[in-house]
Chains A and B, each alone.
Chain A
Amino acid sequence: MSLELSCVVGERGVDLALEVHSGETLAVLGPNGSGKSTALGVVAGLVTPDAGRVVLDGRVLTDVGPGRSGVRVAPHARRTALLGQEPLLFPHLDALENVAFGPRSAGAPRATARRDARRWLDEVGVSELSARRPGQLSGGQAQRVAVARALAAEPALLMLDEPLAALDVAVLPALRQTLRRVLAERTAIVVTHDPLDALLLADRVVVLADGRVVEQGPSADVLSRPRSPFAARLAGLNLVAGTWRDGSVETAEGLRVHGLVVGDPPAAGERAIATFRPAAVAVYREAVEGSPRNAFEVTITEIEPLADLVRVHAGPLHADVTVQAAAELDLVTGLVATFSVKATEVAVYRAA
Chain B
Amino acid sequence: MAARERTRAERPVGLPRWLYVPAVVGAAFVLLPLVAIVAKVDWSHFGDLITSEGSRAAFWLSLKTSAASTSLCIAFGVPMAVVLARRQFRGAAVLRSLVLLPLVLPPVVGGLALLYTFGRRGLLGSELDALGVQVAFSTVAVVLAQTFVALPFLVVSMEGALRTAGQRYEVVAASLGAGPTTVFRRITLPLVLPGLLSGAVLAFARSLGEFGATITFAGSLQGRTRTLPLEIYLQRETDPDAAVALALVLVVVAVLVIGLARQSRGVL
Tell me the A residues contacting B by CB distance below 8 Å: 44, 46, 74-77, 79-82, 88, 90-92, 101-102, 105-106, 149-150, 153, 155
Among B71-79, B90-98, B178-186, B251-259, the stretch that binds chain A is B178-186
B176 contacts A by Cβ under 8 Å? yes
Please give, as numbers and ranges, the residues of chain B lying within 8 Å of A90 by CB-CB distance: 169, 172-173, 187, 190-191
Report how far A46 CA is from B182 CA in the complex, Å: 18
- Are B168 and A102 in contact (CB-based, < 8 A)? no
A88 touches B168 (CB 8 A): yes
Q: Which residues of B contact A92 (CB under 8 A)?
A: 190-191
By DSSP majority rule, is chain A's interface helix, strand, loop, or mixed? mixed
Identify the interface centre among A46, A92, A106: most chain B CB within 10 Å of its CB: A92
Q: CB-CB < 8 A to A81: which residues of B?
A: 175-177
B171 within 8 A of A: yes
**Min CB–CB distance A161 → chain B (angstroms):** 11
Q: How far is the CA of A91 from the CA of B176 in the complex (A)?
A: 16
Pick the residue among B177, B180, B191 that contacts A102 (CB under 8 A).
B177
Q: Check B174 for interface membership: any CB of A closer than 8 A.
A: yes
Interface of B is mostly: helix
Q: Check A75–B175 contact: CB distance below 8 A.
A: yes
Taking A88-B168, A91-B191 as contacts, is the C-beta distance between A101 and B175 under 8 angstroms? Answer: no
- Closest chain A CB from B174 CB (angstroms): 4
**A153 CB contacts on chain B under 8 angstroms:** 175-177
A76 touches B172 (CB 8 A): no
Instruction: Name B196-241 residues within 8 Å CB distance of A.
Output: none
Contact of A149 among B176, B182, B191 (CB under 8 A): B176
User: A80 — which chain B residues lie within 8 A by C-beta?
Assistant: 175
Contact B190 A101, beta carbon cutoff 8 Å: no
Q: Are B176 and A150 in contact (CB under 8 A)?
A: yes
Given contacts A90-B187, A91-B191, A92-B190, contact A76 B171 (CB under 8 A): no
A46 to B168, CA, bound (A): 12
Closest to A154 in B: B177
A76-B174, A76-B180 are known; give 12 further A-B pairs, CB within 8 A. A44-B175, A76-B176, A76-B179, A79-B177, A81-B175, A81-B176, A82-B171, A82-B172, A101-B173, A105-B177, A106-B177, A153-B177
Complex A-B, nearest 4 residue pairs according to Cβ-Cβ distance, in ascending order: A105-B178, A102-B176, A75-B174, A76-B174
Sampled A-B contacts (7; CB under 8 Å): A76-B176, A77-B177, A81-B176, A88-B168, A90-B187, A101-B176, A105-B176
CA A256 to CA B21, docked complex, whole Å: 80
Chain B residue with minimal CB distance to A105? Answer: B178
Residues of A within 8 A of B175 (CB): 44, 75-76, 80-82, 153
CA distance A52 to B191 in the complex (A): 35
- Which B residues are within 8 Å of any A CB, using their own CB? 168-169, 171-180, 182-183, 186-187, 190-191, 268
Q: Is the CB of A105 within 8 A of B179?
A: yes
B156 to chain A, nearest CB (A): 23
By a CB distance below 8 angstroms, the chain A residues around B168 are 88
Q: How far is the CA of A101 from the CA of B190 in the complex (A)?
A: 14
Give A82 to B174 CA distance when docked, in angstroms: 10
Inter-subunit contact A76/B169 (CB<8 Å): no
Bound: A153/B268 CA distance, A: 27
CA distance A300 to B182 in the complex (A): 59
Q: How far is the CB of A117 from chain B (nearest CB, A)?
A: 12
Across the interface, B178 reaches (CB within 8 A) one of A76, A88, A150, A155, namely A76
Distance of A46 Cα from B175 Cα, bound (Å): 9
Residue of B172, B180, B187, B268 with most chain A CB atoms under a 10 A cut-off: B172
Could you say which residues of chain A place their CB within 8 Å of the CB of B187?
90
Measured in the bound complex, the distance between the Cα atoms of B175 and A79 in whole Å is 7
Q: Please, which residues of chain A bring their CB within 8 A of the CB of B169?
A: 88, 90-91
Chain B residue at minimum C-beta to C-beta distance from A101: B176
Interchain CA distance A150-B179 in the complex, whole Å: 16
Which residues of A lie under 8 Å from residue B191 when comparing CB positions? Answer: 90-92
Which of B171, B186, B190 contacts A75, CB < 8 Å?
Answer: B171
Question: Inside 8 A of B173's CB, which chain A residues have their CB?
Answer: 76, 90, 101, 105
